[in-house]
Structure 1
Amino acid sequence: MSALSSEAEDGSSCDGADERDLPCRASGLVSAKLTIVVGDTHFSEEKMFLVQSCDYFRALYRSGMKECRQEQIHLRSLRARGFVIVLAVLRGEKPALDGDDIVEAIECAAFLQVALLAKHLINLIDSDNCLLMYHTAATFGLMDLYHAAALFIRNMYTDLEAEVRKSLPSEMISYVESLTPSVFVAVGAHVTCGGGETVHAASRTVCYLDETGNNWKVLTDLPLQASTSMAGVTVLDNKLYIVGGVHGLHKQVVEACFCYDVEDNSWGRISSPAQLRYNLSLVGLDGRLYAIGGEYERTVMSSVEVYDVKTGKWEFAAHLPRPVAGAACTKAMSRIFVCLWRPMETTEIYEYISRKDEWRLVTTLIRHQSYGHSMVGHRDNLYVIRNGPSDDFLRCLMDCYSLSSGQWTSLPGHFANSKGSLFTAVVKGDSVFTLNRSMTLEYVVDGKTWKPRRQMKGFPRSGSVWTFMLQLPDALMLQ
């Protein structure tokens, strides 16, 4: 097992807990050590660390059982290597896991109820380990991982079906096939359509690609008051969000923000950020929307606001290191990254550290480039896509940054970028879908290379296009 040491980036913390979860503080839990025996291996850890980090130990020290007073606890059903992985993840590391590691990690995550480890395992799902993840999660009842692995398999079913039918029991195959695969969805840049204006209303549609029929179909119409022009558009928990945007010749900001729920096939309003903005970047992660930078009254901003879906409230977060509009953002390994580009040579990648509410410089890339870039996260890699040299700007160059190794790699060759197709790249399983008016092109991510796989129909809209993945209910796709 190899491990990448880093701080916990998902907002969970091992320093500072809810007082309700620390019933033994007064009896010396803060500084007490506990020896955990797993197999023949002894681990010495702070009790407070274990109680704050792990539901099993939290429940144990709430129970009042005799184990609360013991200095040594035996975990007889687990194996030492799995517990090593648990401790690594709880300390903020992002270990890479092979087959044996995965099995033992899932066993420990289920028995000790370690949500952070389950989340890390979900981030590691790929074409090579998804069947193992799925079967082992079923065995130990780790249901979040079970569903995530099944959905990954469903999204890659063309490649995996033969192996699935050979290696999985019928009930597990049935569950995979009962899931709706993610579909490629696109919406053009449209301003509001209020005041009785209906001339352009027919084109204000969100569409999805029917891969079987190689055709684009209408999913829903945009609300008349919604603008996708210079707006923040993203998907979170299978819901589409639109924040900000502009209308009119003078780029008047749109205050109304919207959410589309595919399950109900309905649009609803959400509250607006305290700081109205357009040309922002919008990212969704762990039940929150992050509105990053943007402009207001033609002034570029560095402010960031976070929307909690459960509470329906926006709160300001740490400012970016400098003002930015239309920044390239992505998610990878349940972490948020943003590119701050300094023309014409330098791209800086920052990560938002939620538990510390700060932006941390991850890496700097210096490359000669003409203009523009986007960023795509896949597994533990960040792909930065930029225009080629100024005499060949319709082709793209791509660089890959590995979060695990901290190394940059230039992908070989140029990628065709007629009218910005790669700037709309989104991930589905181990594939990347790109789009322009001429074609939809699917790449397979193999190692750190992108290999063209198939070409489908382009999106018949001019101007900027937003793309993303959604799981659509069968009823919607049958309309």
Structure 2
Amino acid sequence: MSADSSEAESSGCDSADERYASGLVSAKLTVVVGDTHFLEEKMFLVQSCEYFQALYRSGMKESRQEKIHLNGLHARGFLIALAVLRGEKPALDGDDIVEAIECAAFLQVASLTKHLINLIDSDNCLLMIHTAATFGLMDLYHAAALFIQNMYTDLEAEVKKSLPSELISYIESLTPSVFVAVGAHVTCGGADTVHAASRTICYLDEACNSWKVLTDLPLEASTSMAGVTALDNKLYIIGGVHGLHKQVVDACFCYDVKDDSWSRIPSPAQLRYNLSLVGVDGRLYAIGGEYERTVMSSVEIYDVKTERWEFAAHLPRPAAGAACTKTMSRIFVCLWRPMETTEIYEYISRKDEWHLVTTLIRHQSYGHCMVGHRDNLYVMRNGPSDDFLRCLMDCYSLSSGQWSTLPGHFANSKGSLFTAVVKGDSVFTLNRSMTLEYIVGGKNWKPRRQMKGFPRSGSVWTFMLQLPESLMLK
């Protein structure tokens, strides 16, 4: 093919795309689902839904009609899909879930599938997996199966009573998530092997009630004042310091449990330590931190697929070591503002903006750790000055916009609890003396079982990973 013909073909494609786009701008479409008529903008539907993208690129006669019928769907399911596409987070009951899954599968609405995944809990997980299997919504099917595997002790009897054998076999074939922890360690380059033996990442073998070594840190890696998080079953270490003068470590690392290997990844444009790091939807968010002892407000996002960092909207004010969490695919950070004020901000990715969600004011107390579980944010804070080691907790409901205080405190004589990670409908908390699992039930955390503490002093990062059996047997 000549260059001229290639250019002509390319020009023809561009013209077709331009005609395709221009035909959608400001155009309206009536979508008939059952007896219900929905009048929507064509561009909105095409940008949000693979079904309509394919329809309007196909050239079929339906693409030129002002009204189309979606046979076999329920109006309620389509209404839920529209709400999610507009950025809402609707709560769904049993019938809603079935119709939403049917709609997500038929129309290939990725954001609705993600919303359904975020709603999986102990009450609806069996319905989720069975319906997802029926309609072939595989991402939801896998997510529900993993949730059930992680809660299998509680759900096994109901699973074997309610689900067909092929679904049970798939659930039981999955590897459950394991509680993993790493302490603060500086780099260990050259011949300096002092403390090298303790530079390990460990996991809790719940059956044996003992901590076992998963892997050693790379010699160049530092977890001291670093950003550490797990994303898509990989562990990431960003930044950190070494030496008495807090020299920034410019090497960043990724640990892949699949092949038990470490690799280097690019460093952020702005070197930083004492940062907050959170992973959501294939991206790492490096939030705030310090550089040359100056606290920063800058934020960078690392796209795992493209392996590139990009700057995002700055925090409302500089922050180092800020409490940060994710839930429902949303990112939240705690910022302090004297006196005695903890503000919670959410990062809105589609707008690249930080929005103030709520404010918590408690006497002589600030939020030091935050964990998200479904539509609740749990903020752990120090006690007042006369009893600083007490760990108190407040709950903020994203759906109701209300604060409540959890009864009791969450510490013991060995120190306060400022790390927690979710597994199913449980939360694992940790300090040197014990690992404690709680069952989370709205406004209460009910202690379930106590296991061995993590024998490390200083800061500890915790997360969940699915470990291949070969790693746990080595």
Q: TM-score, normalised by structure 2?
A: 0.95
**Whole-Å Cα distance in 2 between the matches of residues 371 and 330 of structure 1?**
16
Question: Which residue of 1 is the match for residue 34 of structure 2?
Answer: 39
Q: 1:123 aligns with which of 118, 123, 130?
A: 118
Residue 247 of structure 2 is aligned to residue 276 of structure 1: no
Assess, with a 3 A threshold, how the Cα gap between structure 1 residues 21 and 268 changes in structure 2: closer, same or farther: farther
**Whole-Å Cα distance in 2 between the matches of residues 189 and 98 of structure 1?**
44
Q: CA deviation at 1:461?
A: 1.2
Residue 249 of structure 2 is aligned to residue 251 of structure 1: no
Which structure 2 residue ranges, 5 or more long, are not aligned? 1-13
Q: CA deviation at 1:20?
A: 9.0
**Whole-Å Cα distance in 2 between the matches of residues 63 and 421 of structure 1?**
61
Residue 20 of structure 2 is aligned to residue 24 of structure 1: yes
Residue 174 of structure 2 is aligned to residue 172 of structure 1: no
**Whole-Å Cα distance in 1 between the matches of residues 16 and 271 of structure 2?**
38
Aligned-partner SS, 2:297: coil
Question: Which residue of 2 is the match for residue 56 of structure 1?
Answer: 51
Aligned-partner SS, 2:418: helix
Question: Which residue of 2 is the match for residue 9 of structure 1?
Answer: none
**Whole-Å Cα distance in 1 between the matches of residues 111 and 153 of structure 2?**
31
Residue 393 of structure 2 is aligned to residue 395 of structure 1: no
Q: CA deviation at 1:23?
A: 5.4
Q: CA deviation at 1:25?
A: 2.5
Question: Which residue of 1 is the match for residue 342 of structure 2?
Answer: 347
User: Where do residues 73-222 of structure 1 align in structure 2 (5 Å cutoff)?
Assistant: 73-222=68-217
Residue 456 of structure 2 is aligned to residue 461 of structure 1: yes
Question: Which residue of 2 is the match for residue 3 of structure 1?
Answer: none
Question: Which residue of 2 is the match for residue 470 of structure 1?
Answer: 465
**Whole-Å Cα distance in 1 between the matches of residues 32 and 40 of structure 2?**
11
Which structure 1 residue ranges, 5 or more long, are not aligned? 1-17
Question: Which residue of 1 is the match for residue 6 of structure 2?
Answer: none
Q: 1:237 aligns with which of 232, 235, 239?
A: 232
Q: C-alpha offsets along residues 404-423 of structure 1, whole Å, 9 cap, x if unaligned?
A: 11111111222225555531
Code of the aligned partner of 1:25: A
Q: TM-score, normalised by structure 1?
A: 0.94
Task: Confirm or deny: 8 A CA contact 2:376 2:442 kept in the other structure.
Answer: no
Q: CA deviation at 1:24?
A: 2.4
Task: Confirm or deny: 8 A CA contact 1:344 1:370 kept in the other structure.
Answer: no
Code of the aligned partner of 1:173: I
Aligned-partner SS, 1:302: strand
- The root-mean-square deviation of aligned C-alpha atoms, in Å, is 1.5
Q: Determine which structure has greater relative contact order: mean sequence separation of CA pairs < 8 Å that are 6+ residues apart, divided by chain length.
A: 1
Q: 1:314 aligns with which of 309, 323, 326?
A: 309
Q: 1:358 aligns with which of 353, 358, 373?
A: 353
Q: C-alpha offsets along residues 321-363 of structure 1, whole Å, 9 cap, x if unaligned?
A: 1110000000011011100012441011111111111111111
Question: Which residue of 1 is the match for residue 331 of structure 2?
Answer: 336
Assess, with a 3 A threshold, how the Cα gap between structure 1 residues 38 and 372 changes in structure 2: closer, same or farther: closer
**Whole-Å Cα distance in 2 between the matches of residues 233 and 359 of structure 1?**
22
**Whole-Å Cα distance in 2 between the matches of residues 127 and 438 of structure 1?**
30
Query: How many residue pairs were aligned?
Result: 461
